[in-house]
Structure 1
């Protein structure tokens, strides 16, 4: 290992050490797994953001006997963490600068290793299994995100003949991780990337699900003026009663100064919206896939594209206006500058949902139905009790 590689590993280890010291739920699971060894003889294939908290998740699964083959997600891989995992003998693919094409090659490499259990994020592994026709070799798996759950119930519906526990269906995760942790980290990342102030600025949040409502909440808590775009009438009604301005993207395009997409769906800010945006509008996304802002159409409409910082591009239009695009339209809290992602506590909770759901797959897959399904209620309630105890919420 050369000096540069050794420095990368050392930096990653220090970051992981801090994270590990503040994730008591995974620490307890790691100790339990070291005794029970639920994953002995099993290979887990993973496609998930590779950052320090994920490294602690992988350590926990390895303590339970799992052999791990992993790749990150496009644009969010942190190279120092990959270096540590490889130094510790894990098979890990990917780097931060990988193209979308290379990311798909990394996913294919994970499937080439013939995993028996999937830990998926965005449905990439499950889709690859179905495309290859190797479903019979898979015991089951978990899916982390809203986007992946939508794929399992949409394009992959009826085609996945093994259980896939959708972690994002857990109300516990929705409250702790999606609303409060995503909300906090997206606002924090906006401030870190742009160095712009929140108070008095006009924000438009597209989507008022768990993540979007969290983003709106934290923006308003810091003094932002917030409007919400939501296509579901009941959810839009909820946003209105929560005190937000509610309208269509077309009507709010000229009002907003910052636009944040949080829907999990493709084609939210499209070429029809670009001419309506005010000069200097900032466009950002916090959904899993980089498809909510139509970046190819945006760049095609541009007369000039000027990188201003690591995660900031100025897009000029022929009429003299410009917009600012953050993190290339990717998930800004993990693909932006100095990415931190969600809070330690929320990921301790969310990853405990992961490891106990994977344990259920490994030890009792025959008790589960085929296809997408929520986290078993008994696991949700067990983890809620553990989280309340860890928070000392009764003090």
Structure 2
């Protein structure tokens, strides 16, 4: 066994031991075999928690063909999964072009079921003319849900359950999982103080709510930039300063994007920031911070650490960019991602939603749709029991 594979196996073993919900459904799937004869194509962050999810699907009879997301693949986990007989493309150092080729390789394998993140596989099968061979799938993220309901609307002939529409995922994984892991990653990467520092969170969806909550819990002074009037209203009643991002740019010291939309931190916003401002992105796609423009106009770019770059600007100021503008909690140094409990919940949602697609696609409508209510309620009951909150 290679050292890389051994490390991936050891890390996955620890995480598997702390995910009781997935352990239970793995036993159920081994008995029911809902994926017999089905090939599951995955495009999702390849890290130990994802490895446990793929083991669960394989126990249910699924053939796995997978790739990670750009910049977040963990090579030891890839080695471990390949050692389990799964086809996994990609490496942590892949360029964007190589990542796109990896996604194309999964599409070319003609999966019957898609486990998607950012709607890359859905877009790929449509572009390749292979959508008729897909029974259905799931989509993990806000960003992917937006794509399915905009550029891909009316072009998806199979049902796609958007996991991010789930209230369980919103509360458990997004608010508390992402909120905790983004703040933890910010602290781990920079080693900077949170208490008393000024943070601007762009977006007050469930992830933004969680990030703001955990920053404040550590003593940070938090402001929220949100264009949706009702979300801004909620942020104000939650006790945050609420204003336009342009106005907050001069006030903030740290800026964290969590909107799912491109072009949030632009040159105009950067020009208003104080010297030394720290920029991080928590959204799925690396497009919320205009990184290309930052690099293009920089007088100098210096790599200070594995996930820290100093961008010197022509006017003498500089900003600090974390993880190259990719997801700071998964693409940064020592990536951990969301807590085990949050992902145990989230991946139970994935597992049972994929089973519904595999066994009862005819009961679902084509295109993007929420998690069926009966699954939501069953999973909520299981999580409360597993957490011990009923005792």
TM-score range, shorter chain: over 0.9
Do residues 211 (structure 1) and 197 (structure 2) align?
Answer: no
Do residues 23 (structure 1) and 19 (structure 2) align?
Answer: yes
Cross-structure match for 1:319 = 315
Q: Cα deviations across residues 271-307 of structure 1 (Å, max 9, x unaligned)?
A: 1112111000000000000000000111112100000
| Shift, 1:87, TM fit | 1.2
| Shift, 1:132, TM fit | 1.2
Cross-structure match for 1:382 = 378
User: 1:112 pairs with 108, 115, 136, which one?
Assistant: 108
Q: Cα deviations across residues 106-153 of structure 1 (Å, max 9, x unaligned)?
A: 000001111100000000000011111211111000000000000000
| Shift, 1:317, TM fit | 1.1
CA distance in 2 between counterparts of 1:394 and 1:112 reads 47
Q: Secondary structure at the match of 1:315?
A: strand
CA distance in 2 between counterparts of 1:74 and 1:336 reads 12
Please give the root-mean-square deviation of Cα atoms over the aligned residues, in Å.
0.6
Cross-structure match for 1:230 = 226
Cross-structure match for 2:341 = 345
User: 2:143 pairs with 141, 147, 150, which one?
Assistant: 147
Cross-structure match for 2:76 = 80
| Shift, 1:394, TM fit | 2.1
Do residues 160 (structure 1) and 134 (structure 2) align?
Answer: no
Written as runs of structure 1 = structure 2, the 5 A alignment for 1:1-395 is 6-395=2-391
More moved, 266-275 vs 204-213: 266-275
Q: Cα deviations across residues 301-342 of structure 1 (Å, max 9, x unaligned)?
A: 210000000000000012110000000000000000000000
| Shift, 1:94, TM fit | 0.3
Moved runs in structure 1, 4+ residues, more than 2 A? none
CA distance in 1 between counterparts of 2:189 and 2:270 reads 22
CA distance in 1 between counterparts of 2:185 and 2:298 reads 26
CA distance in 2 between counterparts of 1:381 and 1:218 reads 27
CA distance in 1 between counterparts of 2:386 and 2:370 reads 24
CA distance in 1 between counterparts of 2:158 and 2:317 reads 51
| Shift, 1:358, TM fit | 0.5
CA distance in 1 between counterparts of 2:183 and 2:298 reads 27
Runs of 5+ consecutive residues of structure 1 not aligned to the other structure: none
Q: Secondary structure at the match of 1:314?
A: strand
Q: Secondary structure at the match of 2:5?
A: helix
CA distance in 1 between counterparts of 2:387 and 2:84 reads 32
| Shift, 1:88, TM fit | 1.3
Q: Secondary structure at the match of 1:45?
A: strand
CA distance in 1 between counterparts of 2:25 and 2:185 reads 30
